[in-house]
Structure 1
Amino acid sequence: MLKRTFLTTAAVALAMAATGGAALAQEKTKVGFVYVGPIGDGGWTHEHDVGRRAVEEEFGDKVETVYVENVPEGPDAERVMTQMALDGADLIFTTSFGYMDPTINVAKKFPDVKFEHATGYKTAENVGTYSARFYEGRAVQGLIAGEMTESNIIGYIGSYPIPEVIRGINSAYIHAKKVNPDVEFKIVWAFTWFDPAKEADAAKVLIEQGADVILQHTDSTAPQAAAEAAGNVYTFGQASDMAEFAPKPRISSIIDNWAPYYIEQVKAVMDGTWKSEQTWDGIGPGMVGIGEITDAVPAEVKEEALALKDRIASGEYHPFTGPLKKQDGSDWLAEGETADDGTLLGMNFFVEGIEGEIPQ
């Protein structure tokens, strides 16, 4: 009996050697996700979690995913990332701008773990970044908003005054102004990504100021509910479709489609082909989607908005095309000139016509 056991063990060892340790290669790839909000926020975090579940569906028992939700930006994020790495994660997605420095710090301690940071700009040998060109979707929203407002006052709920949010405000304003020269933007800064009470209050303030269309760069559906309660106010879904509020107040949406990217990066880790890159995709590659434009929007406006979407997707049109001036009246883009990515990634100014200062 002992002899048979010895032969079996030896045979296994020889088989593993012959296949280059294939048995070990069958271990699951562990993928972690760090979320700034709850997976039930109906917006930003919800869509990242849709991507996580798509990874599970794509790879089945070859992958294990874990996540931690409601992680504040700062020291708590670093602690959560560290624990994920210690628990054996092979790849960690950190899904909020304020996770940038914590991601870099933890990556230094775990050089064999791959990290992907959403919406940031700092990289390392084991840290890549990814984001979507949300400003492309904001252009489409701006066009619709400019056509739909009757008060000529459009409200915008900003989260934090970072380039991503400033780009969105500028893009929406430019395209609202193109179709409605009388349009005015009012901006309320919530200084949060996800806080339904603050977001609802911001929406109410904008409605009190006369806004009958509201855009948001915060993650909950609270502004939708506030608009619905007010009546005669239109809104747009943020990050996720928020279709439960259609056909109004929610008349369209920007949808963040992370699933293909997550699947691609997990596969690269599995294949051993992963490398640090900076990815910034938009409507054309499908990372930014435009949710259904409801019948609350006139057919001709819907047609115009979809035509703009198609022109952006094909590369025929860039949302930041001159002539454009900065808020202070100084020249920025000449006739036909388009903004370069470096300027967009660091955008810290409003375009001409937007009132109010960017908080420091």
Structure 2
Amino acid sequence: MSLKQKLALAAALAFSTQVLADDPLKIGFVYVGPIGDHGWSYQHDQGRLAVEKHFGEAVQTTYVENVNEGADAERTIRRLAQAGNDLIFTTSFGFMNPTARVAADYPDKTFMHATGYKQADNLGTYLSVTYEGRYVTGTAAGLVTESDTIGYIASFPIPEVIRDINATYLGAKAVNPDVQMKVVWVNTWFDPAKEADAANTLMDQGADVIVQHTDSPAPLLAANKRGKWGVGQASDMSHFAPEAHLLSVVNDWGPYYIKQVQAVMDDNWKSEDYWGGISDDVIRIAAINDRLTEAQRSQVDGLIASIGSGEFHPFSGPLKNQAGELKVKEGEHLSQKELAEMNWYVEGIDATSPQ
């Protein structure tokens, strides 16, 4: 080989190496609802946009919205892997088994699943500790309710939802011993018509504060129409009904997504089961209504600070279940494992889970 040919080959190899080095990290996101739901999927997509803004041309992101939990989810996740995505975030509890199956087939790619509990060397889990925000919600609701009745719109009977129902009730009961909570199950994450119907059913039953574990602003708008209180889910929903909006429990995924992307880029990502709450701003309490009195606002703010500092845990004992059995002793609180498996209601909640 002549010197000229050697130089040409070296230049070609250098160019090839530079192209490979400059290839963006391809990242896929799978959403259970539309990014316009103004709730859960919207906030995850805000996290995706934060990744794009932070890393610029170093990343290339793709998202798929409105993905049904089950076979559709597995097909979608597998297509993203086949399309060359190096990191895939799947963002609903029902995506857990499909994610685990695809991750097993693509050990050279990194997968992260929100709200689940199955991990592998290339599969991590993460969730926001929404029960902290729900306890604050319950406290605020217990302070403002005039009917002593709170309504809760529940999506699916999974531990996350049951935890949040319990936390809301405990927060309300701590400041209002006469409070009761009514629960309506809608078996959907996002269906504005169903959500509005559920809100009206609860208000017909006397609820004057509506809390939701569904993703559209429809319950808040229904509460506003009837002069009641509503609570924003996942994002700040105050602009939909400023008068009726009590507060919003906001999920801020941007910093966490940026951290995980950087770890993959640096080749030091490790599987973990991450729970992010008020202390690290993954959960934020936004737009607390200024109709609260100074004393009420002070109580809510103090609670947020206490939970954030670790001084107070929402599931502190003594706690009993519906049957009156002691589940948490005084001076103790539920562990992360116990919270992850929660399938029981605290004493005082008159609700059952659908089969």
- For structure 1, the residue ranges without an aligned partner over 5 or more in a row are none
Pairwise CA distance, 1:334: 1.9
Aligned to 2:130: 134
| Root-mean-square deviation over aligned CA pairs | 1.5
| Aligned counterpart in structure 1 of residue 298 of structure 2, from 292, 303, 310 | 303
The residue aligned with 2:279 is 284
Is the contact made by 2:221 and 2:241 (CA closer than 8 Å) also made in structure 1?
no
Compute the displacement of 1:14 (Å).
Answer: 5.6
Aligned residue for 2:190?
194
Measured after TM superposition, the shift of residue 192 of structure 1 is 0.5
Candidates 76, 79, 88, aligned match of 1:80: 76
Report % sequence identity: 55
Cα distance, 1:310 vs structure 2: 0.3
Superposed CA offset, 1:258-306 (max 9, x none): 0011101111111111121110111001111101211122221111011
1:273 equivalent in alignment to 2:261: no
Point out the more displaced range, 292-301 or 143-152.
292-301
Q: TM-score, structure 1 length as denominator? A: 0.95
Q: Which residue of 2 aligns with 1:351?
A: 346
Q: Deviations over 1:305-328 (max 9, x none)?
A: 110000000011101111111111
Corresponding residue of 1:166: 162
CA contact (8 A) 2:220 2:241 kept: no
290-299 or 218-227, larger mean C-alpha shift:
290-299
Contact 1:246/1:294 (<8 A) preserved: no
Query: 2:31 aligned with 1:35, yes or no?
Result: yes
* 1:11 to 2:10 alignment: yes
Offset at 1:246?
Answer: 4.5
Partner of 2:217: 221
User: Which residue in the other structure is 2:320 paired with?
Assistant: 325
Q: CA deviation at 1:248?
A: 2.1
Deviations 1:138-164 (A, max 9, x none): 111000000111011100000001110
Provide the secondary structure at the position in 1 that maps to 2:307. helix
Matched to 1:152, the amino acid is D
CA distance in 2, matches of 1:187, 1:213: 12
Q: How does the TM-score come out when normalised to structure 2? A: 0.97
Contact 2:153 2:195 in 1 (8 A): yes
How many pairs were matched up?
A: 354
Q: Confirm or deny that 1:49 pairs with 2:48.
A: no
AA matched with 1:79 = R
Residue 88 of structure 2 is matched in structure 1 by: 92
Aligned equivalents of 1:98 and 1:5: distance in 2? 60
Specify which of 39, 47, 63 is matched with residue 59 of structure 2. 63
Find the partner of 2:240 among 245, 252, 256. Answer: 245
SS for the counterpart of 2:45 is helix
Question: C-alpha displacement at 1:11, in angstroms?
Answer: 3.0
Q: For residues 88-139 of structure 1, give each alpha carbon's deviation from its aligned partner in whole angstroms, at most 9, with x where no partner exists.
A: 0000000000000000011111111110000000011111000011000011
Counterpart of 1:258 in structure 2 is 253
Find the residue that maps to 2:278 and give its secondary structure.
coil
1:234 aligns with 2:233: no
Q: Take 1:352 and 1:214, find their aligned partners in 2: how far apart are those partners?
A: 21
SS at match of 1:348: coil
* CA distance in structure 2 between the partners assigned to 1:131 and 1:32 by the alignment: 18
Measured after TM superposition, the shift of residue 23 of structure 1 is 3.8
Distance 1:356 1:272 in 2: 47
Q: Which runs of 5+ in 2 are unaligned?
A: none
1-structure distance, mates of 2:138, 2:337: 23
Q: Decide which moves more: 151-160 or 326-335.
A: 326-335
Q: CA deviation at 1:15?
A: 3.8
Q: Does 1:183 align with 2:179?
A: yes
CA distance in 2, matches of 1:259, 1:14: 37
